[in-house]
Structure formats: C-alpha cells, structure tokens
Amino acid sequence: MRHATPKMLKFLGYPNQICILVNKLCCAICILLGLSLITIITLEVFFRYVINSALSWPEEVAGFVFVWFSMLGAAICLFEGSHIKVTFFVTQLNQKVQYYLKNFIYILVIIFSYVLVDRGISSLYIVSGQVSPAAKINMVWEYVAVPITGIIFILYCIVSILNNLLTGNDSIREDLKS
C-alpha cells in the first residue's frame, strides 16, 4: 500500500472536494425529487379516488422525476461504494491483485459511462422535438439524465483511480482528509 504524502493529498484534495460537492448536490436533488414523487403520486391518488376526477399529467411527471431520481441515486451509490457488488471472490485475492482489479473495474465503468454519454447525447437529438402528451414537457428533460449521470460516473471513477494510484486508497470520500 502506498502512503499519501502531503503533496499527493493536496493534489487530490481538489478533485476529491469536487466529487464530494457533486455528491452533496445529487443528494439534495434526490431529496427534492423524492418529496416531489410523494407529492405528485398523493395528488394523483387523491384526485382519482377522492374527487373522482383523474388528472392527466401526474403519471407523466412522476415518470420524469423517477428517471432523474434513479439515475442520480445510482451516482450516489457509486460515490459511496454502496452499489451492488459481489465481493466473495475479490476478498479471497491478495492486496496487489485487488488493487489492480479495482482500477480495472473503474476503467470498465468509465467505458460503460462513455457509452451512456455518447448514446444519451445521440438520443437527445432524436427526442428534442417531442413533448409528452399530457404534461407537454419536452422529452429532452427526461433523456438528459442519462448523459449527465454518465459524466458524473466518469468523474467519480477517474478521481477514484487517481486516489488509488497515488495513495493506494480509492476512496473519494471525506475519509482522505487526514
């Protein structure tokens, strides 16, 4: 394992802080989106079953909100390392192999994320002239979640690789502030 020098920690401080800031922003947005989902769905149920006059737009808007909620939630999970993973075999490997495997996995995530960004941007051109039928919202607002999340994934993975290479610890969280 590498021991971080003060110079390395200073160099990594800025990208780590950017990642921490992006994650806090994602968390705040997810809280707002979650509250919005609860409000929209409650409103829809109330109008449909209590007033007996269903609204046309809540289902579509809830779909838009849910896409953003799940995509940003995935970014939060990547940042916190809480996404689903199989660690049984990895923990059986020695530290050096684990070190290289982590970097390899981050590179795979970067490649996948690049595809998300590339295909996501391509889809924006396709849907840019389309609006949702009931809510009349441009479909770009739903589809833009894919490339934005891909960019966040790439940022997190690059910073994790830098941390791993320079300090031996791939964490981009606040535990590097020592």
Each residue's pLDDT tens digit, 80-122: 888 777 777 778 888 888 889 889 999 999 999 999 999 999 9
Rounded to two decimals, the pTM is: 0.88
Residue 161 lies in a domain: yes
- If one compares 173 and 129, the residue with the highest pLDDT of the two is 129
- If one compares 5 and 146, the residue with the highest pLDDT of the two is 146
Whether residue 167 is predicted with pLDDT greater than 90 in this model: the reply is no
Residue 1 lies in a domain: no
Expressed as residue numbers, the domain containing 12 is 6-176
Full DSSP string of the chain: -----HHHHHHHHHHHHHHHHHHHHHHHHHHHHHHHHHHHHHHHHIIIIISS---SSHHHHHHHHHHHHHHHHHHHHHHHT-S----TTGGGS-HHHHHHHHHHHHHHHHHHHHHHHHHHHHHHHHHTT-B-TTT--BTHHHHTHHHHHHHHHHHHHHHHHHHHHHHS----SGGG--
Q: How many domains does the chain have?
A: 1
Q: What does the pLDDT read at residue 3?
A: 64
Computed over every residue of the chain, the mean pLDDT equals 89
Q: What does the pLDDT read at residue 98?
A: 86
Q: What does the pLDDT read at residue 112?
A: 97
- If one compares 134 and 70, the residue with the highest pLDDT of the two is 70
- If one compares 32 and 176, the residue with the highest pLDDT of the two is 32
Q: What does the pLDDT read at residue 173?
A: 67
Q: Which of 33-37, 52-56, 69-73 bottoms out in mean pLDDT, i.e. has the lowest? A: 52-56
- If one compares 55 and 12, the residue with the highest pLDDT of the two is 55
